[in-house]
């Protein structure tokens, strides 16, 4: 038996719980909500820009609440907090299914984004980063396959079923699934504790051999060098998924054919998620962070120029490289550079920034589309963003790395 299979066997319940939380967060992620964009815009008579603004209002509000709710992971066990959040996600799905009024859409989006993209995924990554130390990268990678599986299966399945079933009934089905997860999660973590690890202690220090608080992190320049890199993938990958109906129409591709590329994307995501998990444990995040957003810069250039689905497939593959690394690297980065004692509160800020990015992306791209600038034209500017954020992140890591080395 290999060390990796032994790791999986010895920590199966904890890893499956993390993966299940990550998968269930799919119902509050943009790649899932956006498959209903056409039906929602038609039913409530919305333009691309109006729908983008509504989505951004709800998402931005959830980002603000995450600054408070994310820190709850420092106070409550995953077993208890996770159940409450999952019940909230199930309720949010029911609200979306039964909502008859356009003015209530921002509330529906707020609930889905807070409980799904925000808290459910936040709990999963904080738990993995805190429970595992020497094998943190592998744990984050294994748990992260949950959301990759959601990206691969749910859009294709629900778009296909939507041809036969009313979209509101599909939201009811999503809520029912989340409710079924609740007792399973409670059972998996019935003996919740920190799993065995190669580390000697549960709480590990960060830079300068100390435990950083959230306030100290916000006053440190490394956080601000990291911020554009946090917001970029959530803003612009979210925008791509959010504008998938518009993009398919602009390119002359059928929506089903475009969505059929998602499994390719998630396959690459999964492969590089696992590879980055191994690389984190071997090399640390400081050596890896400066490079991981280069592929996504290339992906937007390729997608902009793609004339057929093979070009789109290449773009999705490049995007998957960064998205896979993004599922593990940032979460391990916060623990490595700032310690694990206050990790919930620290990562809550990062999660809020990520959620805020996912609010900004659809709003800006939707308004620009309404102003006459197709999303394909916007992609060159998006590529520039990722190149600039990589350079800024490199500068920050180079400055901070010596203090991390002294702490080791």
Segment 54-87, tens digit of pLDDT = 888 898 898 889 888 878 887 888 888 888 999 9
For residues 379 and 303, is the Cβ–Cβ distance under 8 A?
yes
pLDDT digits (tens, 9 = 90+) for 101-128: 878 899 999 999 999 888 988 888 887 8
- pLDDT higher than 50, residue 347: yes
Region of poorest pLDDT, from 108-122, 247-261, 303-317: 247-261
Does 216 map to a domain?
Answer: yes
Total domains in the chain come to: 1
Does 280 map to a domain?
Answer: yes
Q: Given pLDDT bands bounded at 50, 70 and 90, which one contains residue 366?
A: confident
Name the residue with higher pLDDT: 2 or 34: 34
| Chain CA centroid to CA 26, Å | 9
Q: What is the pLDDT of residue 198?
A: 37
Q: Given pLDDT bands bounded at 50, 70 and 90, which one contains residue 407?
A: very low
Q: What is the mean pLDDT of residues 325-353?
A: 83
What is the pTM for the complete model shown? 0.72
Does 360 map to a domain?
Answer: yes
What CATH number is attached to the domain comprising 387? 1.20.1250.20
Q: What is the pLDDT of residue 214?
A: 86
Q: What is the pLDDT of residue 86?
A: 93
Does 309 map to a domain?
Answer: yes
Does 277 map to a domain?
Answer: yes
Does 1 map to a domain?
Answer: no
- pLDDT higher than 90, residue 295: yes
Residues in the chain: 408
Q: What is the pLDDT of residue 338?
A: 87
Mean pLDDT for the chain overall: 85
Q: What is the pLDDT of residue 402?
A: 82
Q: What is the pLDDT of residue 296?
A: 96
Does 132 map to a domain?
Answer: yes
Q: Given pLDDT bands bounded at 50, 70 and 90, which one contains residue 1?
A: low
Does 2 map to a domain?
Answer: no
Domain that holds residue 150: 8-191+201-407
């Amino acid at each position: 038996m290999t060390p990796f299979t032994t790791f999986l066997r010895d920590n199966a319940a904890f890893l499956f719980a993390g993966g299940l939380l990550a998968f269930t967060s799919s119902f509050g992620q943009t790649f899932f909500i956006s498959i209903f964009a056409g039906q929602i815009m038609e039913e409530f008579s919305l333009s691309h820009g109006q729908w983008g603004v509504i989505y951004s209002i709800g998402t931005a509000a959830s980002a603000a609440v995450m600054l408070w709710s994310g820190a709850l992971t420092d106070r409550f066990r995953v077993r208890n907090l996770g159940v409450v959040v999952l019940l909230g996600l199930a309720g949010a799905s029911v609200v979306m299914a039964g909502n008859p009024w356009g003015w209530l859409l921002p509330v529906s989006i707020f609930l889905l984004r807070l409980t799904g993209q925000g808290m459910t995924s936040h709990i999963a990554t904080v738990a993995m980063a805190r429970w595992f130390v020497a094998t943190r990268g592998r744990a984050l990678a294994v748990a992260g396959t949950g959301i990759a599986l959601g990206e691969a299966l749910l859009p294709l399945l629900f778009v296909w079923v939507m041809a036969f079933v009313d979209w509101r009934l599909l939201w009811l089905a999503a809520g029912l699934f989340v409710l079924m997860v609740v007792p399973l999660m409670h059972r998996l973590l019935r003996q919740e504790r920190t799993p065995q690890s190669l580390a000697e202690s549960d709480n590990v220090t960060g830079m300068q051999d100390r435990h950083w608080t959230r306030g100290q992190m916000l006053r440190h320049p490394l956080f601000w060098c990291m911020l554009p890199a946090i917001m970029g993938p959530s803003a612009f990958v979210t925008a791509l998924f959010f504008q998938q109906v518009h993009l398919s129409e602009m390119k002359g591709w059928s929506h089903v054919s475009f969505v059929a590329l998602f499994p390719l994307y998630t396959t690459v995501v999964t492969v590089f998620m696992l590879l980055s998990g191994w690389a984190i444990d071997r090399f640390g995040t400081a050596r890896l962070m400066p490079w991981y957003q280069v592929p996504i810069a290339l992906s937007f250039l390729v997608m902009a120029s793609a004339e057929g689905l093979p070009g789109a497939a290449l773009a999705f593959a490049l995007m998957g490289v960064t998205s896979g690394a993004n599922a593990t690297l940032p979460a391990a980065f916060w623990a490595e550079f700032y310690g694990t004692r206050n990790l919930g509160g620290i990562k809550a800020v990062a999660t809020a920034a990520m959620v805020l990015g996912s609010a900004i992306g659809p709003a800006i791209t939707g308004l620009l589309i309404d102003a006459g600038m197709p999303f394909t034209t916007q992609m060159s500017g998006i590529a520039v963003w990722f190149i600039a954020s990589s350079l800024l992140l490199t500068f920050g890591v180079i400055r901070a790395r010596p203090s991390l080395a002294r702490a080791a």
